[in-house]
Amino acid sequence: MTEKTSLWGGRFSGGPADALARLSVSVQFDWRLAPYDIAGSRAHARVLAAAGLLDPDELGQMLAALDDLEAACASGEFRPTIDDEDVHTALERGLLERLGTLGGKLRAGRSRNDQVATDLRLYLRDHARGLAVALVELADALTEQAALNVNTAAPGMTHLQHAQPVTFGHWLLAHVQPLLRDLERLRDWDSRAAISPLGSGALAGSSLPLDPAAVAKELGFTAPAPNSMDAVADRDFVAEFLFVTALIGVHLSRLGEEVVLWTSTEFGWVELDDAFATGSSIMPQKKNADIAELARGKSGRLIGGLVTVLTMLKGLPLTYDRDMQEDKEPAFDAIETLGLLLPALAGMISTMTVRVDRLAAATPVGFSLATEVADWLVRRGVPFREAHEITGQLVALCSVRGCELEDLTDDDLKTVSGHLDPSVRNVLTVESALASRTTPGSTGPGPVADQLATVQHKLDSWRQWAVEKVVPR
């Protein structure tokens, strides 16, 4: 029977109480860091050898044992036990089983404090790329639908009331823009997270002649940490990562809310594919946008993870404190949550059917062409303040009569203002309203086609970044 492995205890006369052991154990959730811990161990073994603390034969044995341990972890042959406090304890047990006392030499010059900080950075940097892939897939789905609806008229809204005509392609691309910013935030975050804590030890560095720069380079970091105390105390990279994921959650929630509205009986603008909708256990007619609703709901979970870590960090003295054990589960949960949500949303968007006829019928309703009249008056030299008043009087007249602007007679126009004449009818169509929007970034078919090309080009560049390998294998 293998002797229980512990990374501490020399000064203690007995083991921890069961209550303490149960509270301290983290291997049930930090086991996923095992591949990254092993990668760090390989790099550390090489710098120990470079420092003359492992001879070439010992280094060869150490690297072979780490390779074997990694394969055993991947296959499930080696697993943590109830006696393993954390991933580091479990892996040291595995190494000692393979190397005996030689395995204990790997402990020199490092601490769980710099190990876990390194492992978590490696894990999050690696999985940030996976999130980027999923974000690109959702953006692709929105972009493909936008390409089909460059000329599809829709009633643009403010305050959830009809405002001005837009193209539905423009609307869909409006949801792509925040995803592009999310991708930029992930890459920007990664540049700050690419600092290696390994070599900082518990907090003071090491008296052994190690080479943190060599370790950093091998592990795909840009540089070693400049301050050993900050290196083991810093969890900015976790909090910032959780801010990015929380903001992604907010963006997905806003998209989800719109899909819920678009698919309602009152709107009826979009029909979801049966594979991406659910029914009711009692009402046979129901077709529910559950994915969109879950996108709204899970945003709270992602925001909660950020609040958890910020609250945990706010009162901690330097350097490492056990409170920091609470940094991992919110980060792991954010990755898992988005890993489920993003593909589901991408599938829902890519397979939905846009009801062009319903959108076209809804676009002019609610006096959405009123601004066109005001702009027409401005082009004729009427100050906008006056043009606004005149157009408001037209809307008031229509409201009394229960008609739309285009239903007013020539006499009605003249009665409201001498500035109005029958030629104003040229702007009282959805087609003319959309065609007049020609400035960059506006909703006309031309600018939307330009925006579409720009977005597609940006997504191609993000595809390349998202598949880059962070941790050398």
Q: What angle do CA 57, 59, 65 make, to 5 degrees?
A: 105
Instruction: Give the residue among 47, 163, 32, 157 at the shortest CA–CA distance from 108.
Output: 47
Which of 264, 280, 399, 461 does the annotation list as catalytic? 280
Distance, in Å, from the CA atom of 145 to the CA atom of 303, rounded to the nearest integer, reads 29
For residue 155, the surrounding DSSP H or E stretch is: strand 153-158
Residue 282 per-residue DSSP state = S
Ordered alpha helix ranges (H), 352-409: 356-362, 370-379, 384-401
Distance, in Å, from the CA atom of 341 to the CA atom of 179, rounded to the nearest integer, reads 14
Dihedral sign for Cα 308, 309, 310, 315, please.
Answer: positive
Long-range contacts, stretch 368-372, CB < 8 angstroms, 24+ apart:
368/155, 368/156, 368/162, 368/163, 368/164, 368/165, 369/164, 369/165, 369/405, 369/406, 369/427, 369/428, 369/429, 369/430, 369/433, 370/394, 370/395, 370/405, 371/164, 372/427, 372/428, 372/432, 372/433, 372/436
Distance, in Å, from the CA atom of 194 to the CA atom of 237, rounded to the nearest integer, reads 9
Which of 159, 191, 207, 281 does the annotation list as catalytic? 159
Structure tokens at 294: 């879950």
Q: Is 280 a residue of the active site?
A: yes
Q: Is 368 a residue of the active site?
A: no
Per the rule left: phi > 0, alpha: psi between -120 and 50, beta: everything else, 80 is beta
For the chain, state the CA radius of gyration: 30
Tokens 């870590």, located at residue: 309
Burial 306-336 (b: 16+ CB within 10 A, else e): bebbeebbeeeeebbeeebbbbbbbbbbbbe
Who contacts 102 (Cβ-Cβ below 8 Å, separation ≥6)?
A: 58, 61, 62
Compute the 3-state secondary structure of the chain and give helix, strand, coil in percent, each to the nearest 5: 65, 5, 30
Distance, in Å, from the CA atom of 411 to the CA atom of 378, rounded to the nearest integer, reads 21
Dihedral sign for Cα 78, 83, 86, 89, please.
Answer: negative
* Residues marked as catalytic: 159, 280
